[in-house]
Amino acid sequence: MGGWVKRMRSRRGAKPEPEPESRSVGRRRFLSAGAGVLAATRLKRTASARPQDELSVRNPSIRTREGESIPRKMETLDRQIWEEELSEFVPTRIFDAHCHIYQADFDLNYRAALARQEDFKTETVWTDCDIDTVRQVESVLMPGRQITRLAFPFPFYRCDFRKSNQFAGREIRKEPGSAALMLVEPSISAHEVEETILKHGLLGLKPYARYCPTRESECRITDFLPEHQIAVADRYGLLIMLHVGMKKSFADPRNVSDMLRLSDRYPRAQWILAHGARSFSPYPIEKAAPAFRGLPNLWYEVSAVCSMESFDVLFSQVDTDRILYGADSGDVAFSRGKIVFYGSRWGDLTPTTNQLGGELTFYLYEQLRAMRRAAIRLGLTSKQIQDIFFTTGDRLVRSVAKSMRDKFL
């Protein structure tokens, strides 16, 4: 969390070491701003909370990734799936551990296209997505649900990291009970990681294999998440939401061995394996779950996984107090399609790739359908389902936030 008002008090009267001025200032800013996860009251939303000249650029020639607009209502198929399959399964309280918030202006390729007055197709499903946008769509697709979240920027290939992380920290203050992570890439120094975390009240790191200096398909964990960044997370007990590389994800033994080494070497870092250990097919989780069983600082987040077989393995081999619901909100969750696996591979079925005919519902609904069917087949209790959807994620994020505050109060 960013900006602290006091140093950590020494234990048993020991004199604390002098603190660098930049870190002290960052900590004061953090507490004065207040992280969303521990805010006592909801902040008023005002027009000045989002400076349009800095954070938002609109252009009529911009096309979104799939050409979709923000959902304003359920279509007939969506309503049928929600009412017949999902409404009784999805709990009232939800903690979404995978949410993207962004502005098109953070994409440096977008800025360059505007400067050249060229048409542009975004990497994202919409041009802009703030917390208010996410909440608006959730009210349509998941009516009657109270949702808090763990949010982070979108990983544009050419990204303005500074503005992205500034935006994430500012947006998350709108929503008590929620928190945000810092988007990182390998060249960011330990000093900059620490300064950004403390300044903006962030609770951890969100690295991506797409920023790997080598090919993503052959990228090992420390190629895109260097150990000087992990050391900062370990020092403060921060979260690391890990989206691994390599073609086989955790079905590749190198990813498994790297994860075992890193979780042991940095025991205070709290590791979250995104997309169920990137298990869009069941093969990665079949390798990861037995290997990582019993690790005290490792969790699984399940966004965008649409395979019932993957959930069969996850729910049968991992305790529900280690599984976090996530939706990939602000990205694929609210667009139409489904991730399917075939042979040893997986791919996206979208409105532009659908050659089978018929309507598509939302990725989010396909994920929830797979979760529901696996939960029914395995006989998960209502408490276990509540653990997955809310309790585990909320408890983990609150514990990290509390630890950060206690460290300096």
Q: Where are the domains of the chain?
A: 69-408
The values of phi and psi at residue 235, to 5°, are: -60, -40
Residue pair 101/330 in contact (Cβ under 8 Å)? The answer is yes
What integer pLDDT is reported at residue 61 of this predicted model?
A: 62
- Three-class SS state of 156: coil
- Read off the tokens for 97: 């551990």
- Read off the tokens for 351: 């409105």
380/346 Cα distance (integer angstroms): 27
> Which CATH fold would you assign to the domain 69-408?
TIM Barrel (3.20.20)
- Read off the tokens for 146: 């109270």
User: How does pLDDT run along the chain (409 residues), one tens digit per residue?
Assistant: 433 323 333 333 444 444 444 455 555 555 555 445 544 333 333 334 444 444 454 444 666 667 777 889 999 999 999 999 999 999 999 999 999 999 999 999 888 888 888 877 888 888 899 999 999 999 999 999 999 999 999 999 999 999 999 999 999 999 999 999 999 999 999 999 999 999 999 999 999 999 998 887 789 999 999 999 999 999 999 999 999 887 888 888 999 999 999 999 999 999 999 998 888 889 999 999 999 999 999 999 999 999 999 999 999 999 999 999 999 999 999 999 998 888 877 888 887 777 677 789 999 999 999 999 999 999 999 999 999 999 999 999 999 999 888 876 6
303/306 Cα distance (integer angstroms): 9
348/108 Cα distance (integer angstroms): 26
- Read off the tokens for 302: 């399940």
User: DSSP character for 175?
Assistant: S
Count of residues in the chain: 409
What integer pLDDT is reported at residue 165 of this predicted model?
A: 98
Q: The whole model's pTM is what?
A: 0.85
In DSSP terms, 323 is beta-bridged to 300
Question: What is the DSSP secondary-structure string of 373-395?
Answer: HHHHHHT--HHHHHIIIIIHHHH
What integer pLDDT is reported at residue 352 of this predicted model?
A: 78
What integer pLDDT is reported at residue 355 of this predicted model?
A: 67
Q: Which alpha helices (H) appear in 209-251, and where do they start and end?
A: 221-224, 227-236
